[in-house]
Amino acid sequence: MHSSMGKLKKPKKTNPFQPTSGVVPPYLAGREEELNVFQDCLDCMADPKNYAKGPMALFGPRGNGKTALMLHMASAAAVRGAQVVKLEISELKTPEKLAKHLTALANQSKSIQTSETRLVGGTAGVPGLAEAEGSIETHREHLEPSLTLALGTLGRKPCLILIDEAHTLPLDTGRELLNAEQSARAGGANLQLILAGTPNLRAALNKMNATFWSRLDNRRRPLGLLPRADSLDAIAKPMRTAITDEAADLIMKETHGYPYFLQIMGRALWDSGHPTRTPITADAVRQATPDFTRSKSGYYIDRLNDLEMDDLLMAACAVTETAQAQGGFAVLTNSDIEAACKRAGARSHKAVKKLFEGLVHAGFLWADEQSKDQMDPFAVPPWSCGIPTLSQAASRRVRALWPDVHPKLLPPERRAEASREQAAPHSTVDANAKVDQDADGLKSRKCSSRSQFPLY
């Protein structure tokens, strides 16, 4: 029997590029400044006379590596002996749920630190926690003392607390957490809180605590596209090779330095059989491009569906057409974007604000603070499309699905031009628009039957 089986084949090396898998990339490129700030925080935690400087916030459009960076920081903290607590949003739906969860964690932490046996269902390990846990459901005024006590107990030894998707924190829960964290640190707790979220994290946190954002100082870290050198390192270093200049140009043209696209390009190169330690050539990139494009197209479809489900697709198209008319996103003013939102159907100031904030929250619009003039305190960071070329995909989808609506989304200076193009013989819709439809060829669930603008 054994002879018929033969020898087991040697398993293939695992592809080190695993986008969307919730793991740290094989090489975390281009985040040295953020890691230096975090290293400074760890050094403070290691000094009993200093302790952590305060919370840290990572924010930016999805796909820029916020979660991966948090996981890397968690590993670095654990290596240095800190306890790591990752709070899930599902555990933070109400202040009461947060208090119960942190109380349980604090009790467990106390029991471990003192080598005491934890009582099943009890909180005898931490003085005062049993009373707090028993009262939090009926006595709302005890919430902040309970949270402060729990965080103070966790902070008896260096403790890193991570919250991803922090922009979705309920307002009451976030307010209680931020206030309690500040009180616990003021009482000597050795805590380091890291929050990560989409570009509207700032607005969400300011609603919870008006002074929180300003107190972050250099610990608020916007995460956007990677520079060329870092982008190429993200692929070359895990494959232990170099990239030719022509191949580098192709990679940048396809990925734009967007971390998620870099990971799927690396995966495609690896899966195409390109050997490690062999320079990546333009031909190798071309061979990997079909797989890369399939993954990229699927990602665009998901993001476009997100925009459509949130009633943002028309506004995204209107902003895109304005940017094309004026020479790019970087020259757009807030007034330009507001005017585009009005063309997309917003009938009131409140509706315009809702669309504007929705596009920022979705990462369609992104103003990277690091791209502005750092020497000018009044400088405004330029706008960009947070997910590269998603703007073009949004415009093509609207043209394909609602050709009668699309002209109404154009800025005035482009309407006459569009009318002339439409009147020209043999006028056709961009053939590439088909790429942006759902994989099964069906039109969107929510807006396909609309013949007019959505009303806000």
The pLDDT score that the predictor gives to residue 373 is: 55
Tell me how far apart the alpha carbons of residues 113 and 154 are, in angstroms, rounded to a whole number. 10
Q: Which residues of the chain have pLDDT under 70?
A: 1-12, 21, 50-52, 110-142, 370-377, 418-456
- Half-sphere exposure in the Cβ direction for 277 (13 Å, CA): 0
DSSP summary character for residue 409: G
Helix axes 349-361, 313-326, angle to 10 degrees: 80
Tell me how far apart the alpha carbons of residues 254 and 289 are, in angstroms, rounded to a whole number. 9
Burial of residue 305 (number of CB atoms within 10 Å: 0-12, 13-18, 19+):
middle
Annotate 138-150 with b (16+ C-beta within 10 A) or e (fewer): eeeebbbbbbbbb
* C-alpha 413: how far from chain center: 35
Q: Is 232 in contact with 261 (CB distance < 8 Å)?
A: no
Which residues are 410's β-sheet partners? none
As a whole number of Å, the CA-based R_g of the chain is 26
Structure token pair of residue 231: 């982008």
Question: Look-up: residue for tokens 């870092």?
Answer: 230
Tell me how far apart the alpha carbons of residues 187 and 182 are, in angstroms, rounded to a whole number. 9
The pLDDT score that the predictor gives to residue 140 is: 54
pTM of the model: 0.82
Q: Is 218 in contact with 250 (CB distance < 8 Å)?
A: no
Tell me how far apart the alpha carbons of residues 56 and 193 are, in angstroms, rounded to a whole number. 6
Q: In residues, how long is the chain?
A: 456
Closest CA to 103 of 41, 55, 150: 150
Tell me how far apart the alpha carbons of residues 323 and 303 are, in angstroms, rounded to a whole number. 20
Structure token pair of residue 126: 């931490």
The pLDDT score that the predictor gives to residue 114 is: 45
Question: Look-up: residue for tokens 């997100």?
Answer: 306
Phi, psi (rounded to 5 degrees) for 42: -65, -40
Structure token pair of residue 282: 């333009």
Structure token pair of residue 367: 């103003």
Question: Look-up: residue for tokens 């840290």?
Answer: 56
Q: Is 63 in contact with 258 (CB distance < 8 Å)?
A: yes
How does DSSP assign 100-127, residue by residue?
HHHHHHHHHHHHHHHTPPPPTT--TTST
Structure token pair of residue 53: 């400087």
Q: Is 363 in contact with 386 (CB distance < 8 Å)?
A: yes
The pLDDT score that the predictor gives to residue 381 is: 84
Phi, psi (rounded to 5 degrees) for 385: -85, 115
Domains observed in the chain: 32-222 (3.40.50.300), 228-304 (1.10.8), 310-436 (1.10.10)
The pLDDT score that the predictor gives to residue 370 is: 67
The pLDDT score that the predictor gives to residue 444 is: 36
Closest CA to 162 of 222, 83, 109: 83
The pLDDT score that the predictor gives to residue 446 is: 38
Question: Look-up: residue for tokens 């009633």?
Answer: 311
How does DSSP assign 250-310, residue by residue?
HHHHHHTT-HHHHHHHHHHHHHTTPPTTSPBPHHHHHHHHHHHHHHHHHHHHHHHHHHHHT
E-state strands within 1-149: 56-59, 83-87
The pLDDT score that the predictor gives to residue 257 is: 96
Tell me how far apart the alpha carbons of residues 393 and 261 are, in angstroms, rounded to a whole number. 15
| Secondary structure (3-state) at 222 | strand
Structure token pair of residue 186: 């003021």
Closest CA to 297 of 432, 409, 201: 432
Closest CA to 82 of 90, 95, 73: 73
How does DSSP assign 323-370, residue by residue?
HHHHTSGGG--HHHHHHHHHHTT--SHHHHHHHHHHHHHTTSEEE-GG
